[in-house]
Amino acid sequence: MRAVLQRVTQAQVRVDGALIGEVGNGLMILVCAMAGDTEAQAERLAAKVAKLRIFKDDQGKMNLSVRDIGGAALVVSQFTLAADLRGNRPGFSTAAAPEIGERLYRHFSQCLETEGVPVANGQFAADMAVSLTNDGPVTIWMDTDQL
Protein backbone atom coordinates (compact mmCIF):
# COMPACT_ATOMS: atom_id res chain seq x y z
CA MET A 1 0.00 0.00 0.00
CA ARG A 2 1.03 3.55 -0.57
CA ALA A 3 0.21 6.58 1.51
CA VAL A 4 0.98 10.27 1.63
CA LEU A 5 0.83 11.75 5.13
CA GLN A 6 0.53 15.45 5.77
CA ARG A 7 0.82 16.92 9.24
CA VAL A 8 -2.16 19.27 9.52
CA THR A 9 -3.78 21.76 11.85
CA GLN A 10 -7.09 21.01 10.13
CA ALA A 11 -8.41 19.00 7.18
CA GLN A 12 -11.81 18.29 5.72
CA VAL A 13 -13.41 16.46 2.82
CA ARG A 14 -16.65 17.28 1.03
CA VAL A 15 -18.77 15.36 -1.46
CA ASP A 16 -21.29 17.34 -3.50
CA GLY A 17 -20.71 20.27 -1.15
CA ALA A 18 -21.59 18.27 1.97
CA LEU A 19 -18.96 17.93 4.69
CA ILE A 20 -18.40 14.20 5.28
CA GLY A 21 -15.20 14.18 7.33
CA GLU A 22 -12.92 16.57 9.19
CA VAL A 23 -10.15 16.64 11.76
CA GLY A 24 -8.23 19.25 13.69
CA ASN A 25 -4.58 18.66 14.66
CA GLY A 26 -3.32 15.43 13.21
CA LEU A 27 -2.84 13.82 9.84
CA MET A 28 -4.33 14.00 6.39
CA ILE A 29 -3.67 10.57 4.86
CA LEU A 30 -4.12 9.77 1.19
CA VAL A 31 -3.99 5.99 0.81
CA CYS A 32 -3.87 3.65 -2.18
CA ALA A 33 -4.08 -0.13 -2.29
CA MET A 34 -1.83 -1.60 -4.96
CA ALA A 35 -2.46 -4.80 -6.93
CA GLY A 36 -1.44 -7.73 -4.75
CA ASP A 37 -1.74 -5.88 -1.43
CA THR A 38 -3.18 -7.71 1.57
CA GLU A 39 -4.75 -6.98 4.93
CA ALA A 40 -1.34 -7.57 6.53
CA GLN A 41 0.08 -4.63 4.59
CA ALA A 42 -2.81 -2.39 5.69
CA GLU A 43 -2.16 -3.43 9.29
CA ARG A 44 1.59 -2.77 9.01
CA LEU A 45 0.98 0.63 7.44
CA ALA A 46 -1.52 1.62 10.14
CA ALA A 47 0.86 0.56 12.92
CA LYS A 48 3.72 2.56 11.37
CA VAL A 49 1.56 5.66 10.85
CA ALA A 50 0.29 5.59 14.44
CA LYS A 51 3.85 5.48 15.81
CA LEU A 52 5.55 7.81 13.33
CA ARG A 53 7.15 10.65 15.30
CA ILE A 54 6.56 13.69 13.08
CA PHE A 55 4.99 16.11 15.58
CA LYS A 56 7.03 18.62 17.58
CA ASP A 57 7.81 18.12 21.25
CA ASP A 58 8.39 20.95 23.75
CA GLN A 59 11.88 21.53 22.32
CA GLY A 60 10.58 21.81 18.75
CA LYS A 61 11.95 18.43 17.65
CA MET A 62 9.84 15.98 15.66
CA ASN A 63 9.60 13.49 18.49
CA LEU A 64 5.88 12.82 19.00
CA SER A 65 3.36 10.63 17.19
CA VAL A 66 -0.21 11.49 16.26
CA ARG A 67 -1.27 9.39 19.27
CA ASP A 68 1.10 11.30 21.57
CA ILE A 69 -0.51 14.63 20.66
CA GLY A 70 -4.08 13.29 20.86
CA GLY A 71 -4.52 13.96 17.16
CA ALA A 72 -6.80 12.38 14.59
CA ALA A 73 -6.51 11.29 10.96
CA LEU A 74 -8.58 12.11 7.91
CA VAL A 75 -8.15 9.10 5.60
CA VAL A 76 -9.01 9.52 1.93
CA SER A 77 -8.72 6.88 -0.77
CA GLN A 78 -6.43 8.09 -3.57
CA PHE A 79 -5.94 5.58 -6.39
CA THR A 80 -3.81 8.08 -8.33
CA LEU A 81 -0.91 7.27 -5.98
CA ALA A 82 -0.53 4.20 -8.22
CA ALA A 83 0.21 6.38 -11.26
CA ASP A 84 2.59 4.99 -13.86
CA LEU A 85 4.22 8.05 -15.43
CA ARG A 86 6.20 6.50 -18.28
CA GLY A 87 4.11 8.40 -20.82
CA ASN A 88 2.39 11.76 -20.68
CA ARG A 89 -0.93 10.27 -19.62
CA PRO A 90 -0.75 8.43 -16.28
CA GLY A 91 -1.78 4.80 -16.14
CA PHE A 92 -3.28 3.22 -13.04
CA SER A 93 -3.10 -0.50 -13.82
CA THR A 94 -0.95 -1.14 -10.74
CA ALA A 95 -3.75 -0.02 -8.39
CA ALA A 96 -5.83 -2.74 -6.76
CA ALA A 97 -9.20 -3.50 -8.31
CA PRO A 98 -11.89 -1.20 -6.84
CA GLU A 99 -13.52 -3.86 -4.64
CA ILE A 100 -10.16 -4.86 -3.18
CA GLY A 101 -9.04 -1.24 -2.89
CA GLU A 102 -12.15 -0.31 -0.94
CA ARG A 103 -11.81 -3.29 1.39
CA LEU A 104 -8.16 -2.48 2.14
CA TYR A 105 -8.88 1.24 2.52
CA ARG A 106 -11.56 0.46 5.12
CA HIS A 107 -9.32 -2.10 6.82
CA PHE A 108 -6.49 0.45 7.05
CA SER A 109 -8.86 2.97 8.66
CA GLN A 110 -10.12 0.39 11.16
CA CYS A 111 -6.57 -0.66 12.03
CA LEU A 112 -5.55 2.95 12.57
CA GLU A 113 -8.47 3.35 14.99
CA THR A 114 -7.40 0.15 16.74
CA GLU A 115 -3.96 1.75 17.11
CA GLY A 116 -5.61 4.56 19.08
CA VAL A 117 -6.00 7.20 16.37
CA PRO A 118 -9.50 8.64 15.83
CA VAL A 119 -10.34 8.45 12.11
CA ALA A 120 -12.60 10.42 9.79
CA ASN A 121 -12.99 9.15 6.23
CA GLY A 122 -13.64 10.33 2.74
CA GLN A 123 -16.02 8.43 0.46
CA PHE A 124 -14.45 5.69 -1.63
CA ALA A 125 -14.58 6.33 -5.41
CA ALA A 126 -16.36 9.67 -4.98
CA ASP A 127 -15.36 12.99 -6.51
CA MET A 128 -14.17 14.69 -3.33
CA ALA A 129 -13.05 18.20 -2.46
CA VAL A 130 -10.27 18.00 0.12
CA SER A 131 -8.93 21.03 1.96
CA LEU A 132 -6.27 21.23 4.61
CA THR A 133 -3.76 23.39 6.36
CA ASN A 134 -0.40 21.63 6.18
CA ASP A 135 1.60 22.21 9.37
CA GLY A 136 5.30 22.70 8.76
CA PRO A 137 4.83 21.80 5.96
CA VAL A 138 5.47 18.16 6.73
CA THR A 139 4.58 15.69 3.99
CA ILE A 140 5.78 12.07 3.99
CA TRP A 141 5.37 9.38 1.33
CA MET A 142 5.17 5.76 2.47
CA ASP A 143 5.07 2.43 0.66
CA THR A 144 4.67 -0.86 2.50
CA ASP A 145 7.18 -2.43 0.10
CA GLN A 146 9.77 -0.18 1.75
CA LEU A 147 8.75 -0.57 5.42
Strands 72-77 vs 119-121: parallel, antiparallel or unpaired: parallel
Structure letter (DSSP) for residue 69: T
* pLDDT tens, position by position, 5-62: 999 999 999 999 999 999 999 999 999 999 999 999 999 999 999 999 999 999 999 9
In the chain, the number of structural domains is 1
Residue 143 falls within a domain, yes or no?
no
In sequence order, what E strands does the chain have? 2-15, 18-23, 26-32, 55-56, 62-64, 72-77, 119-121, 128-143
Q: 123 catalytic, yes or no?
A: no
Residue 142 falls within a domain, yes or no?
no
Q: 6 catalytic, yes or no?
A: no
Q: 139 catalytic, yes or no?
A: no
Q: Is the pLDDT of residue 147 over 90?
A: no
Q: Spot the catalytic one: 6, 12, 41, 78.
A: 78
Q: What are phi and psi of 89, to 5 degrees?
A: -115, 115
CATH number, position 18: 3.50.80.10
Q: How far is CA 17 from CA 21, 37, 43, 120, 133, in A?
A: 12, 32, 32, 17, 19
The boundaries of the domain holding residue 120 are: 2-137
Residue 133 falls within a domain, yes or no?
yes
Residue 66 falls within a domain, yes or no?
yes
Look up residue 130 and give its amino acid. Answer: V
Q: What are phi and psi of 78, to 5 degrees?
A: -145, 80
Q: Spot the catalytic one: 12, 41, 79, 144.
A: 79
Residue 145 falls within a domain, yes or no?
no
Residue 6 falls within a domain, yes or no?
yes
Q: Spot the catalytic one: 80, 114, 133, 139.
A: 80
Mean pLDDT on 103-121 = 98
> pTM to 2 decimals?
0.96
Mean pLDDT on 116-138 = 97
Residue 146 falls within a domain, yes or no?
no
Residue 82 falls within a domain, yes or no?
yes
